[in-house]
Amino acid sequence: MSELGSLGMECRENPGGFHLLEDECLVEVLDPKTLEPAAPGEEGELVVTNLGRVGSPLVRYRTGDRVRVAAQACPCGRPWRRLEGGVLGRTDDLIFIRGNNVYPSMIEAVVRRFPEIQEFQIEVDDSPGRTELILHIEALDDGVRDRLERDVQTAFHFRPMIRIAAPGSLPRSEMKSRRLVRKLS
Ligand SMILES: [Zn+2]
C-alpha cells in the first residue's frame, strides 16, 4: 500500500480488523467482475482514492485486495467503516469454477502429492459461460495423469484438463503467481 499512504487502523476495542481512515481516503468495495458496490458484509475488491498525498494522487485505485466491510457499527464508536479480518486475499488469485471458489495454493497442495511432477502451471480459461481449468504438468511418468485428475476431482468436485508438457518447457520461477495463467476469450 505504499502507493496509497496510510489506509487504516486497528482499534483497541475490537481487534482483528481495521477501520478505514476515511478522512484520508475515499473507499469503495466493489464486485471485481461487475464493478457494482458490494453490500455491507459481502466481499469485494478494495478501491481507494487517496486525499492527502499531494505528490502521489490516485483515483479509484484498484488494490486487488479482497475485503469485507463489517455490517454492524464498531463498539468503539468510531464512525469509520471497518474491514473485518483485514485483507482477506487477492481478487485475482481466486478461481471460480463449477460453483467452487478455489485458490491456486489449494491446487498446488494436491499437485505436490506427486513427486513425479517436476513443474506445473495452472491455466484458467474464463471463456463466457464455461470456466475450464487446465493443469500443465511436467512429469516423467505419464501414469500420473489419471491419479492427479482423480485427486483434483475428489478435492474440488470438478474434473481438470491435464496436459503433459515437455520436460523443461514450463517457466521456472520463485514467484507463485507465474504458475497461474488466465486466458480470457
Ligand atoms: Zn472500532
Give the pairing type, strands 161-164 and 132-139. Answer: parallel
Report the pLDDT value the prediction gives residue 112, as an integer from 0 to 100.
Answer: 92
- Which of the pair, 27 or 171, is modelled with greater confidence? 27
What pLDDT was estimated at residue 104?
82
The rounded Å distance from CA 5 to ligand 1 centre is 20
Q: Which of 127, 124, 134 is nearest to 163 (CA)?
A: 134
pLDDT at 9 over 60: yes
* pLDDT for res 147: 95
For the stretch 76-122, pLDDT in tens is 999 999 999 888 878 877 788 888 878 787 898 899 999 999 999 99
Question: Tell me: the pLDDT tens digits for 113-163?
Answer: 999 999 999 999 888 878 899 999 999 877 899 999 999 999 999 999 999
Cβ–Cβ < 8 Å for 128, 157 = no
How many A from CA of 88 to the centre of ligand 1?
Answer: 18
Q: For the chain, first and last CA: distance in Å?
A: 31
Please tell me the distance between residue 1's alpha carbon and the centre of ligand 1 in angstroms: 21
Q: What is the mean pLDDT of the chain?
A: 87
Residues with CB under 5 A from ligand 1 (ion): 11, 14, 74, 76, 78
- What is the Å distance from ligand 1's center to 127 Cα? 42
pLDDT digits (tens, 9 = 90+) for 66-89: 899 999 999 999 999 999 988 887
Q: Output the pLDDT for position 134.
A: 94
Identify the helix (H) or strand (E) that includes residue 19: strand 17-20
Binning pLDDT at 50, 70 and 90, where does residue 52 land? confident
Decide: 179 and 120 in contact? Cβ < 8 Å. yes
In this prediction, residue 145 carries a pLDDT of 94
Query: What is the reported pLDDT for 106?
Result: 82
Does 20 score more than 80 pLDDT?
yes
